[in-house]
């Protein structure tokens, strides 16, 4: 018995490659464990975590959130442009996403430099140990995401992706959305919630 979607010629499938989904689930599991460790440590040391949060700039965290989410929007729009057979427009959108990701990197490096200049390194206390582990691990994922965005932009420029052949593009955009999702969780946990 066929469904109406199959009858209409539309196939239902997960976007991207199955291997990327497994990779994303594995990475999300690691982040979940790190966030759980942060939360448990916060319960054990509420005063230390409250004082540590006061030393972070929430507006910086918000700026990083907006840059990553906007980059994610650009990546999603690029994927839609490929579906519309407009790969050159998609390449421009992916370059825009890459520039926004560069903004995140610049803000994060500035924040790291400020914290280090004030003696708030990894060994300062439990809050900052976990802060550095969580945010640096995420930072590495952002850097990999930027390489992927650049690769996808070049692929679109060379018309490597089309309406029928876009699994690689979908996988790359999925990865970037994982980076967004993790930061959307990290920002309130690390910068706001007490």
pLDDT tens digits, one per residue of 170-192: 889 999 999 999 999 999 999 99
pLDDT tens digits, one per residue of 51-101: 999 999 999 999 999 999 999 999 999 999 998 989 899 999 999 999 999
| Rounded Cα distance, 191 and 38, in Å | 12
Cβ–Cβ under 8 Å, residues 182 and 140: no
pTM over 0.75: yes
Average pLDDT of every residue of the chain: 90
pLDDT interval class at 168 (50, 70, 90): confident
Phi and psi torsions of 138, nearest 5°? -65, -40
pLDDT interval class at 16 (50, 70, 90): low
- pLDDT reading at 10 higher than 60: no
């Amino acid at each position: 018995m066929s469904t109406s979607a199959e009858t209409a010629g539309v196939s239902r499938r997960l976007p991207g490659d199955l291997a990327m989904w497994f990779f994303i689930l594995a990475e999300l599991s690691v982040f979940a464990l790190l966030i759980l460790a942060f939360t448990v440590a916060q319960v054990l040391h509420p005063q230390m975590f409250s004082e540590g949060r006061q030393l972070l700039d929430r507006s910086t965290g918000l700026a990083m959130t907006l840059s990553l989410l906007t980059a994610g929007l650009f990546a999603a729009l690029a994927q839609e442009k490929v579906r519309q057979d407009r790969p050159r427009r998609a390449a421009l959108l992916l370059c825009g996403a890459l520039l926004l990701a560069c903004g995140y990197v610049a803000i994060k490096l500035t924040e790291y430099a400020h914290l280090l200049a004030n003696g708030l390194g990894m060994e300062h206390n439990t809050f900052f140990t976990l802060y550095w582990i969580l945010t640096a691990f995420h930072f590495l994922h952002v850097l990999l995401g930027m390489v992927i965005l650049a690769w996808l932009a070049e692929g679109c420029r060379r018309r490597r992706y089309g309406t029928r052949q876009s699994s690689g593009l979908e996988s790359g955009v999925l990865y970037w959305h994982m980076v967004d999702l993790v930061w959307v969780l990290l920002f309130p946990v690390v910068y706001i919630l007490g």
